[in-house]
Structure 1
Amino acid sequence: MYNEPIFLKPVFKDRIWGGTKLREAFSYEIPSETTGECWGISAHPNGPSKVLNGPLEGKTLDQVWDEHAELFGNQEGEEFPLLVKILDAKTDLSVQVHPDDSYAQKVEGEPYGKTECWYVIDCEPGAELVYGHHAKSKSEFEQMVAENRWDDLLRTVPIQPGDFVYVPNGTIHAIGTGTMILETQQSSDVTYRVYDYDRRDTEGNTRELHIEKSIEVAMIPHEDAKFEPVESTIDGLKKTKLIQENYFTVYRWELDGPSEQYENRAYLLVSVLSGEGEITTDGGISLIKKGDHFIIPSTVKQFSLDGNVECIVSHPTV
């Protein structure tokens, strides 16, 4: 029986809007000065994480999913369902929207659409997100896009560190300049760009837009998603359930001292945002620190924690 956490090596992605904060904040060895994404827990073919410890060391997470279903509660599904990222938006991301499962499967041949959520790790004073739009009908939306009336169309909201934002499929959205977030999402890389500020890459080319598909999948009119965080404390661990929805349940864990835990979940995905501590299982003691990403497998039901750490923790909602 596998009785220890499964630590993972992140995969980094260069992005036109990326910067260097993943190195500055988490001491990651990033590949470029425009590194936008850290795929911390990923089995997606565009960037699968590799196991760093134990008998599975060197295997990719998709291989582990295929070969060791017992570590994931023998859950059904050909593909690992979730993906956890940290994003560094040095400049604005494109205004975009994601499809639901049925559209992604029918049009793109992909297993999942993309519903996601964001925990704001840090942001500059005055930072904003694009979240939703002001069009009341599809025809009004199309007209505003055709006339480049982006200030009239797009809805912006202010943010600050510690905010949580839920982004169901169909939501028009964009992460703004000077923002670092942790994103929990369905394991999908299907993105439709609506607007990209007419910017050009290093070769002078604009990036592809997907206006027709965006209009087909967008929520029109926009409605804010509703959710209600719930707090609980067990010994030295404060848990805030940020959201529970169809695809994932996401928590913020704040550990301040020893805490015994019993988790009746198939498995947990854990990303450490700050601090350091340790997790003790039947397999021994594992040190955990800022920037670590690991999975507590289904075979580990009981464990103890100690230290002073902040984590974002998630699991599929079943």
Structure 2
Amino acid sequence: MNAPGTGLHPLRLTVTAKALVFGGHSIARRLGKRGIPDWSIAETWECSDVEGAGGVVTAGPLAGRTLRQVTLDHSQELMGAGWSGEYFPVLTKFIDAAGTLPVHLHADDEAARRLEGQPNGKTEAWHILDAAPGATALCGVKAGVTPEQLRAALEAQDFDAVLRRLPVRAGETLYVPGGTPHSFGPDTLIYEIEQTSDIQQHAMRWRMEDGSPVDASEFGSNVDMLMRQVDLESRPDFTPGRGIAVGDGVERCFLCASPYFALERWRAGTAEPLRHSFATAQILTNVGARVRVRSGTWSEELGRAETLLLPAVCGEVEIAGPADVLFGYLPDLDRDVRAPLREAGGPGGVERRARGNTGVV
């Protein structure tokens, strides 16, 4: 039940930093994020309700409350009228692939429930913030590869024999349905949005936590489970998104959208501020210079690589330019994506399909 009269304001949450073997220093040194440890950091979980790594409100009347508690106690103020759920449904991260990520996949919803005992799977999308010239990613199984060929190649660690290698360019986005084997890096910096989950199956002979070897028995079990969850037909591609002008020097770009999440990038100059109205919670992440954020009577500065969670009850936000920010959210596709695209004079979304999963851009 929602507590009456709480009047939720924008929320700042604690961030979980992950020191994994493929990480580096780009989140702090390229993005300018403060308050993270001064060693190789692979990921920062910006807005998380994953069990054991959930965010905690750092200031205001709800300081000390977990995101899970806020979601349960103020569900419709946070998520919008008619929404109900047991946890916040969207997870966002910065990922620094200074090295190469392990080849892995995440279960889709059906496999997560059937094989992992989890309520949902983990479809995700990567928005490329920076990448070295010639950077590539592995994503999806090549057409015509059989399960037997895939397994043999994974056992031999010959990933290019069976997986698609794609060029990576800053500013593009890749929607990765659950069940799609993938990897990216080195020297690639991304913002990731996904379903709230931490399930994954690896095909590596080393552990990403510390690089220690995985013994033959465990490796075989890992590959067994990966093969039970893999989608051989999922072959997504990068897209530049669809941009529309929404003001004098203000651009809104729809990077990806699906029933699981949507991601937009907004840029504004100084002619007029960025103004955005919304009816569901928005994860606002600053990927540019420090900005001033206003919502109703609330106003604060948001530094580089910092994140705010804007509850649905706020309804609108104004950001003084110059600004370069991301908005991630759980969409009503007709209201939040197709309608604004139609109003801007373009088609109401272009669907990209992969075995029943849809990214709309």
TM-score scaled to structure 1, two decimals?
Answer: 0.91
CA 243–45 in structure 1, closer or farther in 2 if over 3 Å, else same: same
Indicate which of 29, 37, 40 corresponds to 1:34: 40
- In the other structure, the counterpart of 1:243 is 256
Equivalent runs, 1:112-151 vs 2, <5 Å: 112-134=120-142, 135-151=144-160
What does 1:223-234 correspond to in 2, within 5 Å?
A: 223-224=235-236, 229-234=241-246
- Offset at residue 180 of structure 1 (A): 0.9
3-state secondary structure, aligned to 2:68: helix
Q: 1:105 aligned to 2:113? A: yes
AA of the residue aligned to 2:57: V
Q: 1:176-235 deviations in whole A, cap 9, x for unaligned?
A: 111110000000100101235x57875843385421121111121443368783222222
Partners of 1:4 and 1:283 within 8 A in 2: no
Partner of 1:213: 225
Q: 1:16 is matched by which residue type in structure 2?
A: V
Cα distance in 2, alignment partners of residues 100 and 87 from structure 1? 21
Aligned-residue offset at 1:99: 0.6
1:188 aligns with 2:197: yes
Q: Is the 8 A contact 1:136 1:221 kept in 2?
A: no
**What residue is the counterpart of 2:351 in the other structure?**
none
- 123, 140, 164: which one pairs with 1:155? 164
Deviations 1:273-306 (A, max 9, x none): 1112212222332212211111111111133221
Conserved? CA contact 2:171–2:240, under 8 Å: no
Matches of 1:302 and 1:102, distance apart in 2: 36
Counterpart Cα distance in 1 of 2:317 and 2:286? 17
**What's the CA shift for 1:154?**
2.3
d(CA) in 2 for partners of 1:51, 1:237: 31
- Give distance in 2, aligned partners of 1:201 and 1:270: 29
Give the letter for the 1:54 counterpart: G
How many residues align? The count is 317
In 1, Cα distance between the equivalents of 2:302 and 2:225? Answer: 42
CA contact (8 A) 2:58 2:64 kept: yes
1:263, distance to aligned residue in structure 2 (A): 2.0
Aligned twin of 1:309: 323
Quick one: structure 1 residues 237 and 289, their matched pair in 2 at CA, closer, same or farther if it must change by over 3 Å? Answer: farther
CA apart distance, 1:311: 1.4
The question of whether the paired residues in 1 share the 8 Å contact of 2:285 and 2:326 is answered with yes
Identify unmatched segments of 5+ residues in structure 2. Answer: 1-5, 333-361
Q: Quick one: percent identity of the two aligned structures? A: 25
Do the aligned partners of 1:18 and 1:33 also contact (CA within 8 Å) in 2? no
In the alignment, does 2:288 pair up with 1:274? Answer: yes
Please give the alpha-carbon distance, in whole angstroms, between the structure 1 residues aligned to 2:7 and 2:90: 21
Structure 2 counterpart SS, 1:223: coil
Displacement, 1:261? 3.0
Distance 1:112 1:249 in 2: 17
Q: Distance in 1 between matches of 2:104 and 2:91?
A: 18
Report deviation, 1:107.
Answer: 2.0
Counterpart in the other structure of 1:21: 26
In the alignment, which of 2, 10, 18 is matched to residue 15 of structure 2?
Answer: 10
Contact 1:132–1:155 under 8 Å retained in 2: yes
Cα distance in 1, alignment partners of residues 62 and 258 from structure 2: 31
Does structure 1 conserve the Cα–Cα contact (< 8 Å) formed by 2:103 and 2:183? yes
Contact 2:273–2:321 (CA under 8 A) maintained in structure 1: no
Query: In the alignment, what sits opposite 2:79?
Result: 72
Would you tell me which structure has more strand in proportion to its own residues? 1
Tell me the amino acid that sits aligned with residue 327 of structure 2: V
**Structure 1: which 5+ runs fail to align?**
none
TM-score (norm 2): 0.81
- 1-structure distance, mates of 2:154, 2:238: 27
State the SS of the aligned residue for 1:156: strand
- 1:201/1:300 CA distance change after superposition, 3 Å: closer
Q: Partner residue of 2:344?
A: none
Equivalent residue for 1:83?
Answer: 91
* Contact 1:9–1:293 under 8 Å retained in 2: no
SS at structure 2 position matched to 1:275: coil
Q: Indicate if the aligned counterparts of 1:3 and 1:282 stay in contact, CA closer than 8 A.
A: no
CA contact (8 A) 1:137 1:221 kept: no
